[in-house]
Structure 1
Amino acid sequence: MSGIEYVRGDATAPRGKGVKVVAHVCNDLGGWGKGFVLAVSARWAEPEVAYRRWHRERAGNDFGLGAAQFVRVEPYVWVANLVGQRGIRAGRSSGVPVRYEAVDAALGLLADKAVELGASVHMPRIGCGLAGGRWARVEPLVAERLVARGIPVTVYDFGA
């Protein structure tokens, strides 16, 4: 549909040459411990450390829904912590934690960083795991914010 390349594999092992940004959605509570972040932390310690510090020091920074944090983890690989989830799903709460408008805003910041770095973007189906979102709502945002600006995007579906 949108110029997004879909592949089977692990988004924490992005394919291709050049600078790459691995993007994922975080919550606004400072929680890091379930879902895709476990794969991120298994590969690199820095994104979790940076995210937790960013949240802890939020009174003096831009942490909040729609914000993005960029952490360099290898010479040509960055991780983008995108705050696009309000809280976490707990018990029988109604509604889903994803906030599409926050994902959209964070994708705009990601696009600016990708252009600045000359990078491609790699991600799972962001906002659609624990955040409870629907890819049918997220995919057009990715297409509009990233693909429309000429940024190569690869979406990884984990598994063989």
Structure 2
Amino acid sequence: MTDIHYLTGDTTNPRAEGPKVIAHICNDRGGWGRGFVLAISRRWPEPEAAYRRWHHDRASNDFELGATQLVQVAPDTWIANMVGQHGISTSRSSGPPIRYDAVRQCLRHLAAHAARLAASVHLPRIGTGLAGARWDRIEPLITGELTGHGIPVTVYDLPRARADRDDHPGRPTRRRPAARNR
């Protein structure tokens, strides 16, 4: 069994040699435009296009909660679009859209792909942004489905100032108010 490695850096630029899979959580509504997917789309157009086709043709394919789609973006790099979020969070939502059982299924599929490719897995703290997951519930799923089966996993955290901007596109970075002179 290997441990999860934690690094500060950019998940879309994994620090590893050999085959790599960059994994992230998608919703089951076909929405792509907020959160980590923006970083993916800035670097590679293929994952978004493949996800949108997969969702559009869902009546004739396996698109559903718990499904995983692998998209090759370089000779040694794949993106795993993992459907682990039901809908999107709105002011009318009753609870977070994350579905932990679906995430477990996605990670199981991801493990099979990574083993077949002899690849390491690289991800942000999946599900903890827009999907509303708690990391203390996601981390054991990663351990159980990936590292517990010998799949090397690296989790990337952005430096704080950049994370604030990337998590909330168009919204300024939060800053501590300046002290007032009295």
**CA distance in structure 1 between the partners assigned to 2:128 and 2:93 by the alignment:** 17
Q: Deviations over 1:65-123 (max 9, x none)?
A: 00000000001100000000000001242200000000000000000000000000000
Q: How does 1:1-160 map to 2 (within 5 A)?
A: 3-159=3-159
Would you identify which runs of 4 or more consecutive aligned residues in structure 1 move more than 3 Å? none
What SS does structure 1 have at the residue aligned with 2:21?
Answer: strand
Identity %: 61
Q: Secondary structure at the match of 1:113?
A: helix
Query: What amino acid is aligned across from residue 127 of structure 2 in structure 1?
Result: G
Give deviations 1:107-154, integer Å, cap 9, x for gaps. 000000000000000000001110000000000000000001101000
Letter in 2 for 1:8: T
How does the TM-score come out when normalised to structure 2? 0.86
The 3-state SS of whatever aligns with 1:7 is strand
Q: How many pairs does the alignment contain?
A: 159
Q: Report the Cα distance in structure 2 between the residues aligned to 1:145 and 1:73, rounded to whole angstroms.
A: 24
Aligned mates of 1:51, 1:142 — CA distance in 2: 23
Q: Offset of 1:57 from its aligned partner?
A: 0.1
TM-score under structure 1 normalisation? Answer: 0.98
Once the two structures are superposed, what CA deviation does each residue of 1:7-57 show, in whole Å capped at 9, x if it has no partner?
A: 000100011100000000000000000000000000000000000000000
Runs of 5+ consecutive residues of structure 1 not aligned to the other structure: none
Matched AA of 1:120: S
Larger radius of gyration: 2
Supply the RMSD in Å over aligned alpha carbons: 0.9
